């Protein structure tokens, strides 16, 4: 039994839950050695009962939480602190409100601090 990765990211293989489950169900010593060789313990996973659930991808963050609520929010918080220290936050808020119309983009009626 071989582990055939569907993709590699940074030299790390994607886990293949179906082959692991099949190895566990067969339960022979060769499969147990295979499971141990890739660093897994032999035990039943209750989430394997759900065919559309890939337990090895559950931890992966999505774009909303990683980018928009994480990185972008942190960057904007740093920018607001910087602008407040320089006493130009009001200028930034005025500039934010004055962004010209663009197709598919609704202009802001309030400053950044009032929107966020």
Q: Confirm whether pTM is higher than 0.75.
A: no
Percent of the chain scored above 70 by pLDDT?
Answer: 83
Rounded distance, CA 24 to CA 38, Å? Answer: 14
**Contact status, residue 79 vs residue 52, Cβ threshold 8 Å:** no
Structure confidence at residue 5 as a pLDDT band (50, 70, 90): very low
List, for residues 55-100, the tens digit of each pLDDT value.
667 777 777 777 777 888 889 999 999 999 999 999 999 998 888 8
Rounded distance, CA 64 to CA 23, Å? Answer: 36
Rounded distance, CA 97 to CA 108, Å? Answer: 5
102: pLDDT strictly greater than 70? yes
């Amino acid at each position: 039994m071989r582990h055939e990765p569907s993709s590699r990211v940074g030299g790390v293989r994607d886990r293949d839950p179906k082959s692991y489950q099949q190895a566990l169900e067969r339960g022979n010593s060769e499969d147990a050695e295979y499971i141990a060789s890739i660093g897994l313990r032999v035990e039943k996973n209750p989430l394997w009962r759900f065919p559309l659930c890939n337990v090895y991808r559950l931890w992966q963050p999505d774009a909303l939480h990683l980018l928009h609520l994480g990185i972008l929010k942190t960057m904007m918080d740093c920018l607001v602190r910087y602008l407040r220290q320089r006493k130009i936050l009001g200028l930034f808020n005025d500039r934010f409100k004055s962004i010209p119309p663009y197709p598919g983009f609704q202009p802001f009626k309030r400053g950044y601090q009032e929107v966020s």
